[in-house]
Amino acid sequence: MAPSELGRPAHPSGRIVLAATPIGNLGDASARLRDLLAEADVIAAEDTRTARHLCQALGVSATGRFLAHHEHNEEASARGLLEQVRAGATVAVVSDAGMPTVSDPGYRLVAAAVAEGLDVTCAPGPSAVTTALALSGMPTDRFAFDGFLPRKDGDRRRRFEEIRTDPRTVVYFESPQRLTDALAVLAETLGAQRPVCVARELTKLHEEVVRGTAEEVLAWARERAAGEGIRGEIVLVVGPASATEGAEEVSEADAVAEVGVLVASGTRLKEAVAAVAGAHGLRNRDLYQAVLADRAG
């Protein structure tokens, strides 16, 4: 059996390293990322200007060549990069932010390298998908990432129909300009009480996480859109169908108790209420009033 069939590289002299870059806060750049950018023979970047700016911001003096590797040239670029690896080069693959191949270029290169038995490894780091999931307050034991939502309402509706009874939490990317329309279709398709979380500008200065039912988050989006507008990078997290169904079985007293546990652990009251309400398909306002009444009683 050939070494590549055993999962070992047939060309150990060169390798591809998928390198996660900060999604906002430069402090999230790992020491391994800094070393890789400084030492790689080739830096294959979604945007070479962004990659150069990142190196400058991190104080890294890159000695390798910067090559463009993006969705419009990925197939042709991959062939050249594989030649570099065969010749013994270390090729660092970076996207503008987050993990390459996750709604970013890199998949075709990795697939071709794996098929050929070339060495592929990863320098893990920031990811908007898992960051939003962790902050959502929704179940994380089973989840799916479904990329960018379609632009048209009909296509979005069909996409949401696919998860109507899905027992997993589902994560999407969406543009700020289309978020309100997407939430309106979501509420109509999955129901006003479906738990939803919008994570905006993750790890950046103006990070904002909005949790609640589809109805509540849609109301927030409409108000924001009519006022200062919705800006920045958006991650949309949709709770599992089971969370909405389970709301009928959760008593108000139990929900209030869950809020108390979160507050005791250091979570702010409003955030705790939003997390518990979202997990059980309850209205934030109703649960908040119940918590205040319990405290006063």
pLDDT per residue as tens digits for the range 194-224: 999 999 999 999 999 999 999 999 999 999 9
- CA–CA dist 251, 64 (Å, integer): 60
Binning pLDDT at 50, 70 and 90, where does residue 250 land?
confident
Mean pLDDT for the chain? 90
Cα–Cα distance list, 63 to 39, 40, 132, 196 (Å): 6, 7, 34, 45
Q: Is the pLDDT of residue 3 over 70?
A: no
- Residues 48-76, buried b or exposed e (16+ Cβ, 10 A)? beebeebbeebebebebebbbbbeeebee
User: Which residue in 19, 45, 46 sits closest to 32, CA to CA?
Assistant: 19
pLDDT at position 262, please? 84
213 DSSP 8-state letter: E
pLDDT at position 267, please? 80
- With a pLDDT cut of 90, the percent of the chain lying above it is 74
Which residue would you say has higher pLDDT here, 13 or 225?
225
- CA–CA dist 66, 53 (Å, integer): 12
- CA–CA dist 268, 259 (Å, integer): 10
- CA–CA dist 147, 155 (Å, integer): 14
What is the full DSSP assignment across 62-103?
Answer: --SEEEE--TTTHHHHHHHHHHHHHTT-EEEEE-SSB-TTSS
Least confident of 38-42, 49-53, 255-259, 283-287: 283-287
Say if residues 90 and 42 touch (Cβ distance below 8 Å): yes
For the record, the structure tokens of 266 come out as: 């250091």
Say if residues 114 and 10 touch (Cβ distance below 8 Å): no
Binning pLDDT at 50, 70 and 90, where does residue 249 land?
low
Q: Is the pLDDT of residue 9 over 70?
A: no
pLDDT at position 145, please? 97
pLDDT at position 4, please? 43
For the record, the structure tokens of 16 come out as: 């591809």
- CA–CA dist 42, 65 (Å, integer): 5
pLDDT at position 5, please? 44
- CA–CA dist 140, 158 (Å, integer): 24
pLDDT tens digits, 168-200: 999 999 999 999 999 999 999 999 999 999 999
Q: Is the pLDDT of residue 11 over 70?
A: no
Which residue would you say has higher pLDDT here, 247 or 282?
282
Residue 108 burial (10 A CB sphere; 0-12, 13-18, 19+)? middle
pLDDT at position 194, please? 94
Task: Tell me the three state secondary structure of residue 12.
Answer: strand
pTM score: 0.78
Pairing of strands 208-213, 195-200: antiparallel
Q: Tokens 């070479």 sit at which residue?
A: 48
What is the mean pLDDT of the segment spanning 4-8? Answer: 43
Least confident of 51-55, 219-223, 250-254: 250-254
Q: Is the pLDDT of residue 277 over 60?
A: yes
pLDDT at position 7, please? 43
